[in-house]
Structure 1
Amino acid sequence: MRRAISITVLSTVAGLAQADNINPFSCSDFLNFNGNQAQTNLLLNASKETLSWNWFRCLNQPAPNGLDRVWETLKPSDQVYLADGAKPTPYGAPVTLPAAVTQAAGKIPGMNLNRVFHNLNATLQVDGLPLEMGGSVPESQRGKPVRFQLLMSESTFDYIVDQGVYNMNGQQALTGDLNFPATSWEAKAGWLWIGSDTTYQAQLANDGYYIAQAYYQNQDGTYEVGYAALSALHVINKLVPGWVWTTFENVNNHSYTVTNDIPPKPMTNSTGPTPAAALVNTAFQAAYKDLSRYELIGTQLQTSPKLLANSQLESAFQSQSSCFACHGTAAYSKDDGYFNFALGGDAGQGGIVYPTDPVPASDFKGYHKLDFVWSLKRAQWQRP
């Protein structure tokens, strides 16, 4: 009992100290752990929740262009895993928007072509199902899916390019396991689509959502262009060999997203905030008003805590969601393709079950491990 109390007190004190207006944590080179991985490991061991919030704070600081936030300048996966399997353009290289997007943006008040336009090109979660919007959303958005995107840091991108695994040809040619550098980061963002509805945009802004410019392509090839509200942000990095897994949500998501029950119910998170996260949330939300409606759900190191989910990104399978265990199955075989981490048969008891404990190493015979990076599954075969 004494040990449990001491850890809780340590977490609380660390959170309060770091969330003070005179926050000693430096954001100057945080993506490279400020050049001191050992010191960052000490902070992780002292309070992983405090460190997670500091990373979140740094990611949400203004980018060098003064228009976007730092995390928005990470490279989106659709600019890495190209449809034709070609080599991607260098990190940070400007990407030309589709002409139809630029044209539509010019007709929407407030749009700035010098800011990032997020390509919200995904709606299906790991289980193959979307999360629907509902509750307080306008009738025009009711039943439509929450959208999301994947992004990566320069270290992650450089390693993928250097290893040639940005397409299926490179993954097929693998002769060993991947081993990303310690400064590798990935982010996964969940978004509520707004479009050009200024009343709805103001409502979400009032509820503390970060509003950004975005677009997506319809099945018929046309584009939707407008604004979107950030509902969730997964943030991971390889500070430790098993990666650090951290996830944030807006506290008002239950008002705008719903379950697949009939009738639908407000979508909530069953895995957190964890007790340690809740303590640190209070301090940081009070100190950083622009982030005060976001909360840390938890930070996972290996299987502690055993379950961690984001209600916007792992909606229907939160009771089986373990970032570490699921991503630990990222592997590719020349003969069998990607490792199937969904457990069937006896383990699945007639259904689908996702691993919450590490899968035995013997199950990966004939596979090359992808070092927890499942985004590689988005790679395509190179076209002649």
Structure 2
Amino acid sequence: MLTRSAVVAFAVSCLFLQPAIAEDASAGWQIPDDPAVALREPDRFAWSLFRALTWPVDLNAREADPALPYGADGPVVFQAWALADAVYLDGGQKPPAWADMESQTVLELDGTDGPRQLALLRDVPPTPPGTEGHQVDEVRMNRAAFDYIREHGLYSVDGQQRVYYEGRNLAFPPDAIEIKAVWRPIADADRARYHWSEFRDTASGEMLLYGLTALHVMSKVLPRWHWATFEHVDNPFRHGIHDEGWLNRSRDSLACPTDNLSCNLAPSGIGLEGTRWKNYRLRGSQIDFTDDFGNPVILANSELETGFQTTASCMSCHVRSTIGPNINAAASFEFGPDNAAHPLSAPVASRLPVFAVGPDGRITSFHGTPDPAEFVVKGTEGPYPATYSMLDYVWSLSRAKPEP
């Protein structure tokens, strides 16, 4: 794990290499890759990344189409990336190469990587927000992240376990990006205000209109990633079991004056005007565990962290993406007619928990600087304790399945 001094040194070296960072001179469809901008102006970098990932896409190339104007109808860049359920296959199978994967822009509402509000469509009791099992969202990754997972065998639990037992360190490439997206049903009259897509209900075959309401982006442009989260301007005014408004103030130094960073406006001059994307807001960006005063940085998306917004921190949560030793159920030495079989079974990989879970099932997120003691494998405490292996902040890896 990098120390704060290491990050500062990294930033200083970048500054000597970059003559100016005040303005992003790249075309709007180009994904930004300047670590100096990400460090010095994380909100500006966040909006540049947002604009690039929401540019109309050439589905054949699975990249931005510069010939199309920003805000045009149709799928955008992140929608052509690999879905998590197409990467972490049953049986821990190796996914096909990027060029052989079909671009899935029309999702099936079958409870996998479809919109997390599936319970709003059918008479299914929803899992209360803020409890385990509530988090279901669309997760996608770009080619750099996909290729790294595929080439290093991280698509299966067994491959991740080899990282632990071989003592390897993981480091995704600087151009790796993952996103989480949340969609909700919208009326046809709302098409002009939302980026929309159609989803197929596998139960009825009906095509349903959904609007994008939240987009969370993590970019490996920095060693500990750059984090940014966006929401639709309507989100604070929704009412229902999955809604609680914005419990934390937004922070956007690009759109807002320095004395009012929660102005709840979209930035001007970056091409959002006249498009549906002007209705989206940056809730904040994150590049460190704490602020200059040592206070934990809290960053939450009301759609993705419903029920635990006030304790959410992207970095403090994702740093817990780990793999540990195999664990088995407690041994049984009972024999007899009722316990004749003692079959072999695959051991289960251990990981640090995502949440702190209360007795009633309510969850809170970890925030602030990580506690090194929590990374020690229980039962190995002492002069030479075993520690969990970090998976470079990538929680999608926990979706991997064991090999047969």
| TM-score normalised per structure 1 | 0.71
Percent of aligned pairs with the same amino acid: 26
How far has the Cα of 1:90 moved from its partner? 1.4
How far has the Cα of 1:120 moved from its partner? 5.3
Inter-CA distance 82–344: structure 2 relative to 1 (3 Å threshold): closer
Pick the aligned partner of 2:287 from 292, 301, 315.
Answer: 301
Q: Which runs of 4+ in 1 moved over 6 A?
A: 130-134, 139-147, 348-351
SS in 2 for 1:84: helix
**Counterpart of 1:272?**
249
1:297-338 deviations in Å (ceiling 9; x for gaps):
000112256100111111110011000001011101122412
Retained in 2: the 8 A contact 1:131–1:315?
no
**Counterpart of 2:369?**
358
Retained in 2: the 8 A contact 1:285–1:294?
no
2: distance between equivalents of 1:173 and 1:272? 42
Retained in 1: the 8 A contact 2:252–2:282?
no
**Counterpart of 1:213?**
198
Amino acid of the structure 2 residue aligned with 1:373: V
1:226 aligns with 2:208: yes
1:168 aligns with 2:163: no
How far has the Cα of 1:168 moved from its partner? 1.3
Inter-CA distance 227–92: structure 2 relative to 1 (3 Å threshold): farther
Amino acid of the structure 2 residue aligned with 1:303: F
Amino acid of the structure 2 residue aligned with 1:282: A
1:381 aligns with 2:402: yes
**Counterpart of 2:278?**
292
**Counterpart of 1:60?**
54
1:81 aligns with 2:88: yes
2: distance between equivalents of 1:173 and 1:254? 44
Retained in 2: the 8 A contact 1:131–1:257?
no
**Counterpart of 2:391?**
370
**Counterpart of 2:184?**
192
1:311 aligns with 2:302: yes
Which has the higher Rg, Structure 1 or Structure 2?
2
SS in 2 for 1:234: strand
Pick the aligned partner of 2:266 from 268, 282, 289.
Answer: 282
Retained in 2: the 8 A contact 1:308–1:323?
yes
SS in 2 for 1:150: strand
**Counterpart of 2:27?**
26
Note the residue ranges of structure 2 that are not aligned, 5 or more in a row: 1-21, 60-64, 66-73, 128-134, 258-264, 292-296, 328-349, 377-386
Inter-CA distance 331–271: structure 2 relative to 1 (3 Å threshold): same
**Counterpart of 2:100?**
93
1: distance between equivalents of 2:139 and 2:53? 15
2: distance between equivalents of 1:209 and 1:354? 30
Retained in 2: the 8 A contact 1:302–1:325?
no
Inter-CA distance 351–119: structure 2 relative to 1 (3 Å threshold): closer
**Counterpart of 1:342?**
355
Inter-CA distance 142–276: structure 2 relative to 1 (3 Å threshold): farther
SS in 2 for 1:117: coil
SS in 1 for 2:199: strand
How far has the Cα of 1:165 moved from its partner? 1.1
1: distance between equivalents of 2:304 and 2:367? 17
2: distance between equivalents of 1:298 and 1:212? 25
2: distance between equivalents of 1:279 and 1:205? 27
SS in 2 for 1:226: strand
**Counterpart of 1:71?**
78
How far has the Cα of 1:277 moved from its partner? 5.8
2: distance between equivalents of 1:25 and 1:267? 38
| TM-score normalised per structure 2 | 0.68
Retained in 1: the 8 A contact 2:38–2:222?
no
Amino acid of the structure 2 residue aligned with 1:173: R
1: distance between equivalents of 2:206 and 2:369? 41
SS in 2 for 1:325: helix
Amino acid of the structure 1 residue aligned with 2:235: N
Retained in 2: the 8 A contact 1:147–1:191?
no
Amino acid of the structure 2 residue aligned with 1:88: P
Amino acid of the structure 2 residue aligned with 1:52: A
Retained in 1: the 8 A contact 2:109–2:118?
no
Amino acid of the structure 2 residue aligned with 1:376: L
SS in 2 for 1:298: strand
SS in 2 for 1:191: strand
1:209-232 deviations in Å (ceiling 9; x for gaps):
1111223556xxx76643321110
SS in 1 for 2:368: coil
**Counterpart of 2:107?**
118
How far has the Cα of 1:255 moved from its partner? 4.1
Retained in 2: the 8 A contact 1:277–1:297?
no
Retained in 2: the 8 A contact 1:133–1:258?
no
**Counterpart of 2:174?**
182
2: distance between equivalents of 1:123 and 1:89? 19
1: distance between equivalents of 2:313 and 2:183? 22
**Counterpart of 1:107?**
none
